[in-house]
Structure 1
């Protein structure tokens, strides 16, 4: 099976901003993106993106999950990076039209079509290290996918890093490639030294997020996760899981969580931890590694509540249960 996100549809939707207006969107070959070698994005990382999915329902219809939230977030990311303002209506139409074009390629459950809207600065100006790009490009790639974690259906291992941050505090809300690049070396080192799947960044003991997902602690009928602020990504899947949990009658506590409390609670029988994200969905964490010592979360296996919440989200996405929150958009 191909690695997650390594297979692409042959065409993508694209639009260009020339400094004053956006061009009419087109569908072009996915390999046809041409940039000047001095493009702002290549030197000063003026780039942001989104990740969302389209799902095939049993009746053959295709639905996109929470597209409006993802468009709002990439608009925010663009603004925080001083990229040109996007046209939200145009972006929505680009996403829907390119998904409709490749509707036949949307996998059956448990697969989905991963959608990657991307905004990059294109102005050829290497003297603009402290100035924004005047021109940009917005495109939408599609990739049929299965499970994100190649290890299959197993609980993950996380290395707790209590010294470093995933990204600068003011960049946390921006879904930008630079944030992922910054987490890459710590993650690679954690894999090599501790066979960890991800690093859980907890600067000064404050439990935040991993390099690629939000973190949730599930203690009985309570979910504990960091309250929203500018230091970490406001995950759409995180919000969806918390909404479903509240609807199930669970208590959701969005607050500061220390490493000490995390380790104390996670040792309790029945306690669970999980990572949430568009790619990961909701994946159990079975082991925490801190200061060279391994701590088992609950019984170390896949958590029952994690599975229940993930299934509830997937059932909405694949049309197996009522979309009571109005999250699905027709293609």
Structure 2
């Protein structure tokens, strides 16, 4: 049985004024502004989770010998709160994020935060800063960033005996403010994101740090994003930057929507999982399979693969319009957002924003 953790509430005496907050919400971008508060919980070996606190957003004071700075024990999640048509607020699938957070913690030899505590921490912050949740009617949201890092001071190479869990909140505008635009991608053959037995399944900071050089290479090739290939043969499609990939075979009601199977080196995305269910709800066949770079290029050339899109919390669904590699480049379909891609995007956002029935119990009301 999990022992309930009581949160100490210390709200800010100087929150942003309504006028200042509205000015931010008018054009928040993504990850540029933060709400008035944050949540922290400490973990100490022998004591467990304690000192759960909601407090004003503020900088951290950190010892230079903090073990996270040297050995990288740091994991995080990303989820969103959406304003509903009745002006209430709801989180999207926090239980799934909490469970993945536990898996990431296990892989990095960190303590596992109970699912109910993870959710309560997110609820508490959203409830306190509910005025920061954008108005209903669009795809704007309040993005939550739960994360955990080692706080023990020392240079011994071993799991730390102290950690801090935190939740921050940041208002997020529409990912495509000017309309949904397809991205171009570069297939990375020099770098790999993860190998079997590595940390590919964990949402840890090191995975993202290691991706930056390949993302820079993609930019040098005139591409928006990098696509990762497998570590062994450098030919099997894995995922795109910080997003999972989907391939549409055929068109219309007979289309089949396929995503690369989870092999232990891919991040099991919450949006990826949601789309497998939503696509089935819409009458499409779905599948998980290994897809090679040759399959992709040939599939586009022969018209078998008609659409490709990426998915993740930040952008929901992003169409892929062009792929490039050392062996050449090719266009996906006619290079524009595909009909099925856009239908799935609308279906996902409709559930998240309360405009469609929540058939799977994904929408978690803040009470």
Shorter-chain TM-score bucket reads over 0.9
Residue in 2 aligned with 1:318? 353
Measure, in 1, the Cα distance between the counterparts of 2:128 and 2:28: 23
Measure, in 2, the Cα distance between the counterparts of 1:201 and 1:85: 29
1:138-179, CA deviations, whole angstroms, 9 ceiling, x for partnerless residues? 000000002346885211000012343113432111001111
Find the partner of 1:179 among 184, 207, 210.
207
**Alignment check: 8 A CA contact 2:152 2:163 kept:** yes
Matched, 1:281 2:309: no
Matched, 1:188 2:216: yes
**What RMSD in Å do the two structures reach over aligned CA positions?**
1.6
**Alignment check: 8 A CA contact 1:166 1:210 kept:** no
Residue in 1 aligned with 2:244? 214
Aligned-pair CA distance for 1:32:
3.8
1:127-148, CA deviations, whole angstroms, 9 ceiling, x for partnerless residues? 22xx101110000000000234
**Alignment check: 8 A CA contact 2:28 2:173 kept:** no
Q: Any gaps of 5 or more consecutive residues in structure 2?
A: 1-26
**Alignment check: 8 A CA contact 2:191 2:214 kept:** no
Residues 198-213 of structure 1 aligned to structure 2 (within 5 Å): 198-203=225-230, 204-213=234-243
How many aligned positions are there? 328
Distance 1:315 1:151, change over 3 A: closer
Find the partner of 1:16 among 32, 38, 42.
42
Comparing 71-80 and 168-177, the one that deviates more? 168-177
Residue in 2 aligned with 1:117? 146
Aligned-pair CA distance for 1:275:
0.6
Matched, 1:73 2:108: no
**Alignment check: 8 A CA contact 1:216 1:224 kept:** yes
Find the partner of 1:4 among 30, 44, 58.
30
Structure 2-normalised TM-score? 0.86
Aligned-pair CA distance for 1:219:
1.6
Aligned-pair CA distance for 1:293:
2.2
Greater radius of gyration (CA) = 2
Structure 1-normalised TM-score? 0.95
Residue in 1 aligned with 2:24? none
- 3-state SS of the aligned residue for 1:22? strand
Measure, in 1, the Cα distance between the counterparts of 2:88 and 2:51: 27
**Alignment check: 8 A CA contact 2:36 2:129 kept:** no
Residue in 1 aligned with 2:75? 48
Comparing 25-34 and 231-240, the one that deviates more? 25-34
1:71-106, CA deviations, whole angstroms, 9 ceiling, x for partnerless residues? 000011011100122122222111101101111110
Residues 130-279 of structure 1 aligned to structure 2 (within 5 Å): 131-148=158-175, 153-169=180-196, 170-192=198-220, 194-203=221-230, 204-220=234-250, 221-269=255-303, 271-279=306-314
Aligned-pair CA distance for 1:66:
0.2
Matched, 1:95 2:122: yes
Q: Any gaps of 5 or more consecutive residues in structure 1?
A: none
Residue in 1 aligned with 2:23? none
Q: Tell me which stretches of 4 or more aligned residues in structure 1 moved more than 4 Å.
A: 149-152
Measure, in 2, the Cα distance between the counterparts of 1:322 and 1:61: 16
Measure, in 1, the Cα distance between the counterparts of 2:293 and 2:178: 26
Measure, in 1, the Cα distance between the counterparts of 2:54 and 2:139: 28
